[in-house]
Structure 1
Amino acid sequence: MKYVIGVDLGTSAVKVLLMNQQGKVCDEISKSYPLIQVQPGFNEQDPKGWVDKTTEALSELVRKFDGDTNDIEGISFSGQMHGLVLLDQEGNVLRNAILWNDTRTTEQCRQIYECIGEKRLLEITKNQALEGFTLPKLLWVKQYEPEIYHQADVFLLPKDYVRYAMTGKIHSEYSDAAGTLLMDVAKKQWSGEMCELVGVDVTLCPPLVESSECVGEITADFSVQTGLAKKTKVFAGGADNACGAIGSGILSEGKTLCSIGTSGVVLSYEEKNDRDFGGKVHYFNHGEENTFYTMGVTLSAGHSLSWFKDTFASGEEFDTVLKGVANVPIGANGLLFTPYISGERTPYPDATIRGSFIGMDSSHKRIDFARAVLEGITFSLNESIDIFRKNGKLIDTVISIGGGAKNETWLQMQADVFNATIVKLSSEQGPAVGAAMLAAYGSGWYDSLQACAEVFISEEKSYKPITANVEKYALLFDVYKKVYNQTKELNEELKIFRNH
């Protein structure tokens, strides 16, 4: 039996997954690492911590493996997007990595628009300038840490740095590079025009390869540290959302993914590079060669539910907090929640907006609030689906993964709000499976990622929309969409009273 390993480098932990040729998960190990917050809005990590914990996890995986390590043919990666790692000419890390959820770069986003203009930016990168992207971080370092910037020889994204530590080879790949604001997404190359306009030397950008491309083998030193065979092939991998899509079978036109983690993502497959969403959703290169995906983001999806539990039901399990939620009628007895507790991304790129409970009265119980939170998160995700449909996309089936796939009531709610069939997968490992699939395909086990998906992915259950519920939710969604504009000015006035 042959095996591959998928490495998912997340924001709070790294997960390594061992899978065999039958698509079975044979083992998984997770190791956590800390977030470094030097001041509000600044989110950083030590890249060495990623490497150390990945090495630990792989070493533990190999120790527990009772087969021949020569049968572990390949390893590939999924990684948190947009993070900035700067290396000098000797390959040394120059500063902590600045992460995707860092919000210090509002000024640099404005500078990008001033240099390029929104229209040309969208033509080249297909995305708006947002604080989370890599280019604003690079410009922040150039402006505020010039001595570090001038030492920089290349920048890498998080998973690309871990792969570099394993192989000694510097690369990035298209799905992650698409989230930097420095790549021409349609042409699949670094944009010399973008680099020139913002004053960044294009030589800082690493060479680009396909996600399934073998970029080398692990070094002798890394083989000793982990116990992996020296001939273990290393494949480029993909951005976490691209790998999540691959690991959920989003590999053909019409396939859509809803992933509810800390943030929430609605991601839809695109065969071509020419669809125009006017920057309302993200438009990235897929991990499958010469394909793309569009994506809307709810900043605080699962985070809204976690915040509610921690604030109003501290110490209780999620199952307890949500017990009886199915018995609360649609609309939570007239209570509406907007999940803008950390600002919002799609369709409102707004760092100032904040969440609301609207319609509270003395008859409401905690379970009504819980229902309203689930509905509000789902409405926010539906804003992305609404954008897709208004731009001509057919969305009739949605694969649901993450926290939203763990509760039957929530799955049916998604079917009713999205007015689409919701599919729950039988085994859900998300981006780590996608990374393993890239290694399996790259190792020649299958002639396409779709053929790999037929073995690695299976459906457990589906939920059909209920017509009466669809009609009620359509009315409530119309109310929900009014809240942003009617609370925007209020939140701007309240900003001076926030302590962060």
Structure 2
Amino acid sequence: MKNDNVILGIDLGTSAIKCVAMSAAGQVVATAEASFPVTRELPGQAEQNPLDWLAAMETAIRQLGGGVAASVSAIGLTGQLPTLVCMEGDRPLASAITWMDSRADAWTSSFLDEAKRRMMYERTGMPIDGRYLAPMFRHHLDCFGGSVGSILSAKDFLHFALTGELTTDPSTAAGYGLYDLDAKTWSQELCAIWGVSEALLPVIGPARSTSPLTADMAARLGLHSGLPVTVGCADSVASVHAMTGLEEGTVCVTTGSSTIIMDNLRKSLRDPLRRYLLTPHVVDGVFGREMDLLSTGTSYRWLNDLLGWDNGRIDTAAAASQAGANGLMFAPYLAGGEQGALWNPNLRGVLHGLTVQHGAHDIARAYLEGVHFEIRRCIDILAETSRIESVVLAGHAVSHPSTRQMLADILGRPVTTYDHSSPAAIGAALLAAPQEGRPASLSASVVTPSAASTDYEKIYRRYSALFPTIAEASD
């Protein structure tokens, strides 16, 4: 007899599909993932084929095993954002433009004057740049031709492939750059500015709303036809939902291809300096203040490859250096811009103070310190207007004790680790669960600041003076 107590959470990440099977009691019973390629043939390009996502999803689900698949009773979704999928009828065009793609940045910067930026932030809660779906679509319109019938985010495409429904949720809709945060609907004014017809946009529904899994996709994935599939939410929101629920006063730091810094608020508090995103959460009336460091995981892999190291060697090498990396500082803006506290598409990475006396271990430490300094800068901004009582860390950084300690020392705050590798997939599963709950099978540990925290206060001030925010530079 089929066991109806397993929920399947699916996270369409930047480089892989991750699946988590979770029992109704909150126990993670199985996990799997499958990767897919990224096309980077042109400067600034970062595209993926949506059909590769479906193939990876099939591979990952079948890796869970037939017994687990047969017991799935509901499916929850989350995914990378903002990534643009253009549909021609019920088929995607071959290339989805991912959030890593920077080709629309310069055009968008020239298109938006200060008045438009201010108006758009007030309307959407988003400091709009060229990595939102509307400006992506407008910039690349000539490449798509006149055959586009709808535009979707990556997660919304996954939902369409599973259910045949063109639906999104508020947190994902925010990534289109067209969602009115207060009116809770698409903005006609913003659609007109970007030249996007509302007819191209999906219906907006609650994150927990469901549609049935189609028979064709059920057969392909080895699941039961008609399973409820949630609309789901943005990956950042799903991760925070798993790590803290809707608890206020806690900042979640999720390290992956990018690093997401986010907390929860029960008020729509916009920042006059537009230093953070204000995104709708999984339930109405709750918001996430979000700041994203664009390329931390990607640049981590880049530095590993550049130095000819195995994955993880950066962390062990950095531990052989000392606080301050012997005077070396590394500004980690390697994505061609940044969206953390320094919302600027023109920023580039900087290695400052390099001499022949420095070794690879100093470069490794300076890089990790630079990422953690930017995390601190983001948390300090959030703390200006709301009390921050705790920090929870998830992702690849959790597996390196020395790196966890470095972060606690730089933040000057205790850091609690969230030990599962895919909080976003768990958050998606929680959304699909019949009753709200938190997984019971995850352990946590707390890292407290050491004596090095005092030294890092001085080092952080030097770093901040060298790489100031716009507001700091004008003081």
Q: Report the CA distance shift for 1:398/1:94 in structure 2 as closer, same or farther (over 3 A).
A: same
1:297 deviation in Å? 1.7
CA–CA distance in 1 between the matches of 2:316 and 2:57?
Answer: 37
1:277 deviation in Å? 4.6
User: Does 2:42 match 1:39?
Assistant: yes
Q: Deviations over 1:360-393 (max 9, x none)?
A: 3444333222222221110011111121122x22
Q: Report the CA distance shift for 1:245/1:360 in structure 2 as closer, same or farther (over 3 A).
A: same
Cα contact 1:217–1:230 (8 A) shared by 2 = yes
Alignment match, 1:354? 348
Q: Deviations over 1:330-370 (max 9, x none)?
A: 21222222112233222223333322232334443332222
Alignment match, 2:80? 80
Alignment match, 1:156? 152
Aligned positions of 1:76-115 closer than 5 A:
76-88=76-88, 90-110=89-109, 112-114=111-113
1:479 deviation in Å? 0.9
CA–CA distance in 2 between the matches of 1:470 and 1:315?
Answer: 29
Cα contact 2:99–2:132 (8 A) shared by 1 = yes
CA–CA distance in 2 between the matches of 1:403 and 1:277?
Answer: 33
CA–CA distance in 1 between the matches of 2:348 and 2:86?
Answer: 33
Cα contact 1:339–1:376 (8 A) shared by 2 = yes
User: What TM-score do you get using the length of structure 1 for normalisation?
Assistant: 0.87
One-letter code aligned to 2:6: Y
Cα contact 2:80–2:235 (8 A) shared by 1 = yes
SS of the counterpart of 1:257? Answer: strand
Q: Report the CA distance shift for 1:250/1:109 in structure 2 as closer, same or farther (over 3 A).
A: farther
CA–CA distance in 2 between the matches of 1:113 and 1:300?
Answer: 24
User: Does 2:462 match 1:461?
Assistant: no
CA–CA distance in 2 between the matches of 1:303 and 1:46?
Answer: 19
CA–CA distance in 1 between the matches of 2:41 and 2:319?
Answer: 42
1:265 deviation in Å? 1.7
Aligned positions of 1:102-141 closer than 5 A:
102-110=101-109, 112-114=111-113, 117-141=116-140
Q: Report the CA distance shift for 1:75/1:336 in structure 2 as closer, same or farther (over 3 A).
A: same
CA–CA distance in 1 between the matches of 2:316 and 2:155?
Answer: 39
CA–CA distance in 2 between the matches of 1:180 and 1:241?
Answer: 15
Cα contact 2:238–2:424 (8 A) shared by 1 = yes
CA–CA distance in 2 between the matches of 1:45 and 1:326?
Answer: 36
CA–CA distance in 1 between the matches of 2:293 and 2:345?
Answer: 12
User: Does 2:221 match 1:223?
Assistant: no
1:257 deviation in Å? 0.6
Aligned positions of 1:200-349 closer than 5 A:
200-214=196-210, 216-312=211-307, 314-319=308-313, 321-323=314-316, 325-326=318-319, 328-342=321-335, 343-349=337-343
CA–CA distance in 2 between the matches of 1:86 and 1:421?
Answer: 44
SS of the counterpart of 1:187? Answer: coil
Q: Report the CA distance shift for 1:23/1:428 in structure 2 as closer, same or farther (over 3 A).
A: farther
Cα contact 2:9–2:21 (8 A) shared by 1 = yes
SS of the counterpart of 2:139? Answer: helix
CA–CA distance in 1 between the matches of 2:159 and 2:409?
Answer: 42
Most deviating of 429-438 and 323-332:
323-332
Q: Report the CA distance shift for 1:347/1:115 in structure 2 as closer, same or farther (over 3 A).
A: closer
Q: Report the CA distance shift for 1:67/1:408 in structure 2 as closer, same or farther (over 3 A).
A: closer
Alignment match, 2:472? none
Q: Report the CA distance shift for 1:377/1:67 in structure 2 as closer, same or farther (over 3 A).
A: closer
CA–CA distance in 2 between the matches of 1:166 and 1:13?
Answer: 18
CA–CA distance in 2 between the matches of 1:341 and 1:284?
Answer: 25
1:197 deviation in Å? 2.8
CA–CA distance in 2 between the matches of 1:232 and 1:93?
Answer: 24
SS of the counterpart of 2:7? Answer: strand
User: Unaligned stretches of 5+ in structure 2?
Assistant: 470-475
CA–CA distance in 2 between the matches of 1:269 and 1:457?
Answer: 23
Cα contact 1:175–1:286 (8 A) shared by 2 = yes
The ranges of structure 1 where at least 4 consecutive aligned residues each deviate by more than 6 angstroms after the TM superposition are none
Alignment match, 1:389? 383
SS of the counterpart of 2:175? Answer: coil
Q: Deviations over 1:419-451 (max 9, x none)?
A: 2210012434221111111111xxx2x2x3xxx
1:51 deviation in Å? 1.8
CA–CA distance in 1 between the matches of 2:381 and 2:68?
Answer: 49
User: Does 2:364 match 1:365?
Assistant: no
Cα contact 1:273–1:292 (8 A) shared by 2 = yes
Most deviating of 20-29 and 205-214:
20-29
Alignment match, 1:489? none
User: Does 2:184 match 1:191?
Assistant: no
SS of the counterpart of 1:66? Answer: helix
Alignment match, 2:473? none
Q: Report the CA distance shift for 1:283/1:399 in structure 2 as closer, same or farther (over 3 A).
A: same
SS of the counterpart of 1:228? Answer: coil
One-letter code aligned to 1:415: A
Cα contact 1:423–1:463 (8 A) shared by 2 = yes
1:460 deviation in Å? 1.9
CA–CA distance in 2 between the matches of 1:66 and 1:6?
Answer: 16
1:102 deviation in Å? 0.9
Corresponding residue pairs, total: 465
1:272 deviation in Å? 1.2
User: Does 2:467 match 1:484?
Assistant: yes
Alignment match, 2:18? 15
User: Does 2:403 match 1:410?
Assistant: yes
User: Does 2:28 match 1:25?
Assistant: yes
Q: Paired residue for 1:475, among 447, 458, 465?
A: 458
Alignment match, 2:432? 439
One-letter code aligned to 1:359: G
Alignment match, 1:495? none
1:134 deviation in Å? 0.7
Q: Report the CA distance shift for 1:112/1:129 in structure 2 as closer, same or farther (over 3 A).
A: farther
1:325 deviation in Å? 4.1
Q: Report the CA distance shift for 1:421/1:288 in structure 2 as closer, same or farther (over 3 A).
A: farther
Cα contact 1:250–1:256 (8 A) shared by 2 = no
CA–CA distance in 1 between the matches of 2:161 and 2:297?
Answer: 32
CA–CA distance in 1 between the matches of 2:52 and 2:338?
Answer: 30
User: What TM-score do you get using the length of structure 2 for normalisation?
Assistant: 0.91
Q: Paired residue for 2:56, among 28, 33, 53?
A: 53
CA–CA distance in 1 between the matches of 2:109 and 2:91?
Answer: 31
Q: Percent identity?
A: 27
CA RMSD in angstroms comes to 2.3
1:471 deviation in Å? 2.7
Q: Deviations over 1:200-251 (max 9, x none)?
A: 212211101111111x111111222222111311111111111111121242
Cα contact 2:317–2:365 (8 A) shared by 1 = no
Q: Report the CA distance shift for 1:341/1:276 in structure 2 as closer, same or farther (over 3 A).
A: closer
